[in-house]
Copies of this chain bind each other. A is one copy, B any other.
């Protein structure tokens, strides 16, 4: 008798590892290492290096401690600490103290960026009859959660809003995306002198403000819709974890062609550096204010314009209990006043290190920002506690003789919320060193928010990340059955870990897009609620909704620390130069489709085009050629990487061989960097990956070519495709270098 095996079920952990994990839980010491050594993925490590690494990784698995994580959280969330405030300075001291207490080298990387601070704000509905109705602009205190009110709460504001008063009729602009404003233009609905009302979601909020400003709006209100994070998702905090009608999402609206300090593009915002005049920087010029849906409902429910056209309705209707309309009508006027202060303010990145014993100049960086809109129990501290605990455990193991061969850097970034400022200033400060020696950057912003690990990464890091999923216990699953992250993350549908493509929105941008450092965003979600950027992002919320057992943080810490340890210790760098050849053709296809869509929409607009003006045939031709070259490169790289890895595994490689191989692997990483930068945003120098310049959060693979296609610029398409061909030239040269090396080793 046999029970049928369903065809779709979680991929079983490989048997040896499954056997190993319970052993891990029960035993420690060298005896327990036999099984893991067989199970873990050290295929290209010379045998002599494997035992110590397995011991180190077992040490990480065992020593990551929920009580410690909880303690870090208490320490870091004691008070509000918005960038540039006294609370920020106190927190920086605490971080320095914490890292020093673990025995790490610590540096304060002091910067003085231009920041934006709230002063006051008001929004009123001006009905045709009767008195103005002031709208609430702060969350209701939650009984039993002291951090939901008082000093722990930062005023609800959109950093970088202009100061001033706007008054006018109302236009609902849906998400305020490029497409939404284009739809309004098609409908002939003017924003001129009116107040735009946008709901959160769909793009980075800064683009809502940018497009509203460009459309002539006098002001912008951005509200949280209950369909996105309110009752349609679940019960409100504190009964459940979701937003209530007073929840407000704070956040920056900065959109410049470069991240970081607005006054020092390309250069660090440190003492002695020239600053731009703020008047010369394209900062927002209209007042912008975030709202909860109780407040927004006071406006939306009074609107009297016609119904939303049926073709837009599905996308534009939100969760409030009435049919949304686009225009408020002349009888409904709204007045908003925002006062903010923009000034330079001191803050600091906190940089701790465990120096490498063999290659101290080579760096593996783990980072998370430390500033927050309040105490930030989730954003960012759900990630910062992971960085702290990883540092504590790896430092302890280093003291016991299991220190890294390359330097591991633990970074707490300043002023991320104001525009990725601290990390970008540090990258700009250390650009040349990072270009030469940075192995990888692992970003851990808000990393431990639930049981489901989610990974976005550059192609080169996917292999090592995938390997480590197979040895880290899954949060919330039965450890005694050896359930790993891999069992959960593949969801039973595939044997491959799904990876996101890295977009914008956090501190990896400087590393990835400016210097070309292999980067990953490591995070875990799936909790039943959201408190993002609201007054409810408190310890009480976190412990109720994500969990008081710190299982998520434990899982993420184990994962991130082991990935860092592998990157720091592997004789042959754990960067896979071949994976991009499998990822790239998909990007090529997407661009070819996009080019077709652009030609179609030009045709639909009635543009008269000569055959030579069509974008699609040109793009199809280039992407075919790019794909052909990539596909020709794939077996060649596969073969040679395999040869080098086998040579390493058989202990045939000398220190010199590793130095040559690793230099080539780093060069492969940087092959996509072009000092000329991207069209219209030269700070972005990675031709393979950039943030979407029109939405901010999303990603643009092959951004130079994409930009040329979006502008239907034939000449630019040729130019950008030629630059990509140049990248492939460099990668072919690297393949040749690896081949020469392999031959040399094999012929010895």
Contacts and interface: CB of A to CB of B under 8 A. Distances in A.
B528 A6 contact: no
- Of A226, A231, A240, A614, most buried by chain B (CB within 10 Å of CB) is A231
Given A4-B609, A321-B319, A321-B321, A307 B600 contact: no
Contacts of A231: 317, 321-323
B3 A609 contact: yes
Interface in A256-314: 307-308, 310, 313
Nearest to A318: B232
A611 interface: yes
Contacts of A239: 307
Contact of A234 (B232, B313, B321): B313
A242 B310 CA distance: 12
Given A234-B307, A323-B235, A8 B600 contact: yes
A248 to B, nearest CB: 18
A597 to B, nearest CB: 9
Interface string A593-631: 000100110111011111100100000000000000000
A415 to B, nearest CB: 35
Contact of A2 (B240, B307, B599, B611): B611
A636 interface: no
Given A596-B7, A600-B8, A321 B608 contact: no
A468 to B, nearest CB: 27
Given A234-B313, A322-B231, A608-B1, A307 B528 contact: yes
A379 to B, nearest CB: 21
A276 B310 CA distance: 50
Contact of A313 (B233, B307, B313, B319): B233
A312 to B, nearest CB: 11
A319 to B, nearest CB: 7
Nearest to A240: B307
A433 to B, nearest CB: 46
A226 B310 contact: no
Contacts of A599: 4, 6
Interface in A322-376: 322-323
Contacts of A596: 7
A320 interface: yes
Interface string A211-247: 0000000000000001000011111100110100000
Interface residues of A, number: 42
Contact of A1 (B313, B528, B610): B610
Interface in A574-610: 596, 599-600, 602-604, 606-610
A4 B242 contact: no
A5 interface: yes
A575 B1 CA distance: 51
A417 to B, nearest CB: 29
Q: This chain: how many copies in the complex? A: 2
Contacts of A7: 596, 600
- Of A3, A5, A611, most buried by chain B (CB within 10 Å of CB) is A3
Contacts of A319: 319, 321
Contact of A4 (B235, B307, B528, B603): B603
A324 to B, nearest CB: 8
A261 to B, nearest CB: 41
A234 B4 contact: no
A323 B234 contact: yes
A7 B240 CA distance: 49
A317 B1 CA distance: 42
A322 B245 CA distance: 11
Nearest to A297: B321
A321 B4 contact: no
Contacts of A317: 231-233
Contact of A320 (B236, B321, B603): B321
Nearest to A245: B321
A524 to B, nearest CB: 15
A614 B234 contact: no
A295 to B, nearest CB: 15
A315 to B, nearest CB: 12
A344 B45 CA distance: 86
Contacts of A8: 600
A241 to B, nearest CB: 9
A528 B312 CA distance: 13
- Of A5, A236, A307, A600, most buried by chain B (CB within 10 Å of CB) is A307
Nearest to A607: B3
Nearest to A4: B603
Interface in A1-54: 1-8
28 contacts: A2-B609, A2-B611, A3-B607, A3-B608, A4-B603, A4-B609, A5-B603, A6-B599, A6-B600, A6-B603, A6-B604, A7-B596, A7-B600, A8-B600, A226-B321, A232-B323, A233-B313, A233-B317, A233-B323, A234-B308, A234-B313, A235-B307, A235-B323, A236-B323, A240-B323, A319-B319, A320-B321, A321-B321
Given A3-B603, A7-B596, 7 more contacts: A1-B609, A3-B606, A5-B603, A6-B600, A232-B323, A233-B323, A234-B313
Considering the complex of A and B, which 7 residue pairs feature the smallest CB-CB distances, nearest first? A6-B600, A321-B321, A4-B603, A231-B323, A235-B307, A235-B323, A6-B603
